[in-house]
Amino acid sequence: MSARDEILSALRAQALPAAPLPEISGEWIAYPDLSEQFARALERAAGSLVRSTRARLGEVLAALPVVQQAGRCCSLVPELPGNQQPPAEPHGFRDLDVLIAPAQLGIAESGAVWLGESAASVRAGLFLTQHLVLVLARQELVPHLHGAYERLGAELARTGYGCFLCGPSKTADIEQALVVGAHGPRSLAVVLWE
């Protein structure tokens, strides 16, 4: 018998008491101002929030210090094109200074944003770039993770790689001292426009 069949039949031979699957519903935490809470949570996660309007988005992005200092910048956001195209191969992101990409939704509770199909073409770049800038529309904020999964719905299973990303890469593995920029980006700015 194959390992698969042996394991499954061993599990089926065990008589376990029934246990119902609960509905995930009810009242969750509510925030009076989603963008305020989002900013607070993001800062706690060592990220930063920059506010903008739709019209000024290009200007606001161009004024970010990491963008101004960047030698190599790749952007998926039409308001501020970078100076290089996304490479075809994941390793091509190795020398990137700044990546600018659109985020699909943001979670006020934690300061996390969802990157799915909108960032698929720069997936390796999200982690190889030295600095990451994400652009998010204020109307795409949801209060908590339950709202995020509800919004994603069936799209989740169609997304080959999707990630809730919260702040820059970090580690506290040496004496619990927080170090920002473990493997991935050394900084993360979310530009929230309305």
Partner 1 sequence: MNRLQLSHPQRARQFLGDAERARFHDGALWQIRGRRDQRVAELPEWERLRELAAQIKAHTLAELPDYLERFEANARRHGAQVHFARDAAEHNRIVYELLRERGVSRVVKSKSMLTEECGLNPFLEQRGLEVVDTDLGELIVQLRVEPPSHIVMPAIHLRTADVAQTFARTLGAPPLADPQSLAEFARGHLRAKFLAAQAGITGVNFAIAETGGIVVCTNEGNADLGMALPPLHIACMGLEKLVPRAADLGVFLRLLARSATGQAITAYSAHVHGPRPGGELHIVIVDNGRSALRAEDQHRSALRCIRCGACMNTCPVFRRSGGHSYGTTVPGPIGSILAPLREGAAHDSLPHACTLCGSCTAICPVKINLHDQLLELRQRQLERPLRSAREPRLAAARALERTGAALLGWVLRSPSRLARAGALLRWLGRRLPGLARRGPLARWTATRELPPLPERSFQQAYAERRARESPRGAP
**Does residue number 32 form part of the binding site for partner 1 (CB under 8 A)?**
no
Stretch that binds partner 1, among 48-56, 67-75, 96-104, 173-181 (CB under 8 A): 173-181
**Does residue number 55 form part of the binding site for partner 1 (CB under 8 A)?**
no
Task: Output the smallest distance, CB 148 to partner 1, in A.
Answer: 7
Nearer to partner 1, 117 or 194 (CB): 117
Measured distance CA(149)–CA(156) in Å, rounded: 8
Whether 149 contacts 156, CB under 8 Å: yes
Measured distance CA(186)–CA(184) in Å, rounded: 7
Stretch that binds partner 1, among 57-65, 68-76, 96-104, 108-116 (CB under 8 A): 108-116
Binding mask 56-95 for partner 1 (x = CB under 8 A): ----------------------------------xx--x-
Measured distance CA(71)–CA(87) in Å, rounded: 16
**61, 64, 148, 191: residue in contact with partner 1 (rule CB under 8 A):** 148
Q: Is 160 helix (H, G, I), strand (E, B) or coil?
A: coil
Nearer to partner 1, 137 or 145 (CB): 145
Task: Output the smallest distance, CB 155 to partner 1, in A.
Answer: 10
Neighbours of 24 (CB within 10 A): 9
Q: Phi/psi of residue 112, each to 5°? A: -85, 150
Strands 112-115 and 105-107: antiparallel
Task: Output the smallest distance, CB 174 to partner 1, in A.
Answer: 4
**41, 66, 190, 191: residue in contact with partner 1 (rule CB under 8 A):** 41
DSSP string over 53-85: -TTTHHHHHHHSHHHHH-SSEEE--TTS--SBP
